[in-house]
Amino acid sequence: MERIEGSFYTRGIHLSGWLYILALFSILLFLVLNMGLWQHFLGFLFPKESEVIYPRADLFTLLREHVRLVFVSSTAAVAVGVGAALFVTRPFGKAFLPIVNDLSSLAQTIPPVAVLALAVPFIGFGFKPTVLALFLYSILPVLRNTISGIESISPNLIEAAFGMGMKRSQILVKVELPLAIKVIMAGIRTSVVINVGTATAGAVVGAGGFGAPIISGLVRENPAFVLEGAISAAILAFVLDQTLAKFEQSLFRG
Amino acid sequence: MIELRSVTKKYGDQAAVMDLTLTVSEGEVCILIGPSGCGKSTTIKLVNRMLEPESGEIFVNGRNVRGFKPEFLRRRIGYVIQYVGLFPHMTVSDNIAVVPKLLSWEKGRISNRVDELLHMVGLRPETYRHKYPHELSGGEAQRIGVARALASDPPVLLMDEPFGAVDPLNRESLQAEFMKIQKELQKTVLFVTHDLDEAIRLADKIALMRDGAIVQYDTPENILAHPANRFVHDFVGTDRALKRLSRYSVATIMRRAYSLSMHDYPTTVHEYLKKQPWLRFLWIVGEKGELRGWLDTRDFKEQGAEAEVITEVKDPHFGLSDDSTLRDALSRMLAEGVKVLPVLDRERRVVGEISLKDIERVTEEVTERWSE
């Protein structure tokens, strides 16, 4: 069977792609589990600091906390964002399109740190307010991309689908989602990558994660701690972005 | 059979279709035509319930369309639209298989059907099956659009300006292919166009519409010969006699052509002229029978075989195909400044010829019939 390699609609199995993702995760795990490596590296960069490794938690623990924050908030943002976008692009939800757009823009304009400050008195410190702030902050890219992905589909295609006897639900699953998935996934990737970075702010209210060494380093004027947290967060963002890219590709297999 | 009984469809206060009654007999092609906004597209969409009428009833093969769920009704009615609407994320074969899949056919039956349909619309299954729509030309995409509409072998076909977005050259061959397929399948077709020549060429019956109502419903011949009123008269235009020629294909009046290869020159010319001294033009062909030029026997007789009596054909589009209309033939003759044109097959082999006199004979017959 003939296949067009490298095309947008590429089919077939790309094992090499998944091996690449596996390699990225292995490197990430290797790095967070080898504290000695960090000791050497940061000790070399900052010879004057007496302490170069954040002492209160190892990187593996911080990774787990960080991933949990991002996973919970992003999953909720994707569910709500895609759900709301699909709702306002259905005939019965069209009326809500402007208000949903405005609300999500509003959520994006409030800085996450402000959300944290406002939320803590009501729901306490730690995990919960951080997830709330991340969730609000990351809905917009998912929602916007899903809406524009669906709306960019030519009305002729929808008419053709109706004319051939597809039901609304079949049009959504067989026509709209496959055609919009690339744009939707781009929104999800943006949202997740932003989330990984923004989640470091959670450390201010005690949510842990890679933000903890960053905040601690800033307070104690120890650049080694800041770098430890920042490098880890950057690597995590890169690995998650690549994984989502790979996942997106695999969705195009017939 | 498609039957509309006193159907009215309104958009707000504006009636798009007013109290319209129309019957399309089984196996006939009925073409709806009229100025834009006359309600022709609305009418076609009422049949498969893309739109619902305010009043009146519609029957397809004797059954009221309201008796079906819209999805089930549409799966039984072929539908072709102007912009084809092929799904860009599906291969050609998946596109054609949409309706069979909705009808839960089994895999083997679907793939056999896909190949059969590709053959029917003149595309090789091995080449096209796995292509994506963005790899197709406009004409190819529209062929797939027609194949897709025919996938479940529906008895009724709705076509909404199907060839409207295709360039003129491709449109002609699509029309010719449509006629060939229709001759074989005998579907009941309701077809919308704004191109009168297309309507005259393809229709068994033409329904000329204006302001949501049918002004005249008749065969193309009768509409051209006896326009019901001033509006129809103006719509068909003053070149009615010329338009009438679109009804005839070159194949119907083509006559035998005489051709020879340069190897046989000039002996064959003498032989031909001995038997048929009235022959005027002889076609010069190459090794595979393809057209190379022509010879005017009058010059040959006057100036002899050594003179330059052969005209070489350089234009690769010179000549007619057997599915060209007489109208095309006439227009080509005027453009080329010739009185005879060869009829060529796909490999440009000479299969016949047609002369201005032949066309005149047809127009005379037509005029006689009109004055009766």
Q: pLDDT per residue over A56-68, tens digit each?
A: 878 888 899 999 9
Q: Which amino acid is at B32?
A: L
Cα separation of B80 and B74, whole Å? 12
Predicted confidence (pLDDT) at residue A124 exceeds the cutoff of 70:
yes
Q: Tell me what the mean pLDDT of segment B145-173 comes to.
A: 88
Q: Which CATH architecture has domain A15-250?
A: Orthogonal Bundle (1.10)
> pLDDT band at B243, cuts 50/70/90?
confident
Nearest partner of B259 among B244, B271, B246, B242, judged by Cα: B271
For residue A143, which of A84, A76, A93 has the smallest C-alpha distance? Answer: A84
The pTM (predicted TM-score) of the whole model is 0.75
Other Cβ atoms less than 10 A from the Cβ of B125: the count is 16
**CA-wise closest residue to B145 among B156, B134, B130, B133:** B133
Give the three-class secondary structure for B362: helix
| Residue A12 reports pLDDT greater than 60 | no
Per-chain mean pLDDT for chain B: 88
A63-72, B67-76, B127-136, B260-269: least confident range:
B260-269
What is the residue type of B304?
Answer: G
Question: Distance between alpha carbon A182 and the CA centroid of its chain, in Å?
Answer: 15
Return the pLDDT at A87: 93
Closest alpha carbon within chain B to A177: B89
Q: How confident is the model at residue A252 (pLDDT cuts 50, 70, 90)?
A: low
Give phi and psi for B82, each to the nearest 5.
Answer: -60, -45
pLDDT of residue B370: 67
B44-58, B96-110, B282-296: lowest mean pLDDT where?
B282-296
Who among A1, A4, A157 is closest to B85 (CB)? A157
Q: Given a cut of 60, is residue A13 above it in pLDDT?
A: no
Choose among A1, A4, A178: nearest Cβ to B89.
A178
Q: What is the pLDDT of residue A4?
A: 41
Q: What residues form DSSP beta bridges with B149?
A: none
Mean per-residue pLDDT, B67-77: 92
Q: Does domain B2-245 have CATH number 3.40.50.300?
A: yes
On the question of pLDDT at A39 being above 80, the answer is yes
Name the residue among B86, B221, B212 with its Cα closest to residue B149.
B86
| SS3 annotation, B151-183 | CCCCCEEEEECCCCCCCHHHHHHHHHHHHHHHH
Pick the residue of B98, B101, B124, B159 with the most A CBs within 10 A to test the interface with A by mutation. Answer: B98
Among A40-44, B19-23, B340-344, B349-353, name the one with the lowest average pLDDT.
Answer: A40-44
Q: Does A167 contact B71 at a Cβ distance shorter than 8 Å?
A: yes
Tokens coding B240: 């009615």
DSSP state of A31: H
Mean pLDDT within B257-280: 83
Contact B343, B351 (CB under 8 A): yes
What class is the B251-363 domain? alpha beta
Partners of B48 on chain A (C-beta within 8 Å) are 163
In the predicted structure, residue A1 carries a pLDDT above the cut 50: no
What's the whole-number mean pLDDT along residues B351-363? Answer: 87
> Out of A78-92, B132-146, B255-269, which region has the weakest mean confidence (pLDDT)?
B255-269
Rg (CA), chain B: 24
Partner-chain contact A1 B130, CB within 8 Å: yes
Contact B81 A2 (CB under 8 A): no
Backbone phi and psi for residue B23, each to the nearest 5 degrees, phi listed first: -125, 125
Q: What's the N-to-C CA distance of chain A in angstroms?
A: 14
What is residue A237's predicted lDDT score, i.e. its pLDDT?
93
Per-residue confidence (pLDDT) for residue A3, from 0 to 100: 40
Which tens digit of pLDDT belongs to each residue from A145-170?
Answer: 999 999 999 988 999 999 999 999 99
Mean pLDDT of B121-150: 91
For chain B, what percent of residues have pLDDT higher than 90?
44
Q: Per-residue confidence at B297, pLDDT binned at 50, 70, 90?
A: confident
Q: How confident is the model at residue A44 (pLDDT cuts 50, 70, 90)?
A: confident
| Domain ranges for chain A | 15-250
Q: Is B349 exposed, middle or buried (0-12, 13-18, 19+ CB in 10 A)?
A: middle
Q: By a Cβ cutoff of 8 Å, what residues of chain B touch chain A?
A: 48, 50, 70-76, 79, 81-89, 94, 98-99, 102, 130, 132, 148, 158
> From residue B254, how far is each of B250, B278, B358 by CA, in Å?
6, 18, 8
With CB atoms and an 8 Å threshold, state whether A164 touches B102.
Answer: yes
pLDDT confidence of residue A11: 45
A154–B102: do the CB atoms touch at under 8 Å? Answer: no
A167 touches chain B (CB under 8 A): yes
Q: What type of residue sits at position A32? A: V
Both tokens of A235, joined, read 């690597």
What is the nearest CA distance from B71 to chain A, expressed in angstroms? Answer: 4
Q: What is the pLDDT of residue B203?
A: 93
Sheet-wide strand order for B281-285: B259-261, B281-285, B291-296, B310-312
- Chain B CB contacts of A2 below 8 Å: 130
- Is residue B36 very low, low, confident or very high in pLDDT (cuts 50, 70, 90)? confident
The owner of tokens 């919970």 is A72
pLDDT at residue number A9: 45
Contact residues on chain B for A165, CB-CB shorter than 8 A: 70-76, 99, 102
| Residue A110 neighbours by CB under 8 Å, 6+ apart | A136, A137
**pLDDT of B240 higher than 80:** no
Residues of A in contact with B81 (CB under 8 A): 156, 159-160, 163
Tell me if B325 sits within 8 A of B250, measured CB to CB: yes
Asked whether B358 and B253 are in contact (CB, 8 A), the reply is: yes
Domain boundaries, chain B: 2-245, 251-363
For B80, nearest residue in chain A (alpha carbons): A160
pLDDT of B26 above 60: yes
Average pLDDT over residues B145-164: 91
pLDDT category at A15 given cuts 50, 70, 90 is low
Chain A, chain B: beta-carbon pairs less than 8 Å apart = 64
Nearest Cα neighbor of B358 from B276, B248, B247, B273 is B248
Q: Do A165 and B72 touch (CB under 8 A)?
A: yes
Would you say residue B264 has pLDDT above 90? no
- Please tell me the distance from the alpha carbon of residue B52 to that of residue B32, in angstroms, as a whole number: 19
Mean pLDDT of B37-54: 92
A129–chain B nearest CA distance, Å: 42
Please tell me which of A2-11, A96-105, B110-119 the model is most confident about, judged by mean pLDDT. Answer: B110-119
Q: Which residues contact B204 (CB under 8 A, 6 or more apart)?
A: B28, B29, B30, B219
Mean pLDDT, to the nearest integer, of A179-204? 90
Is ipTM > 0.85 here?
no
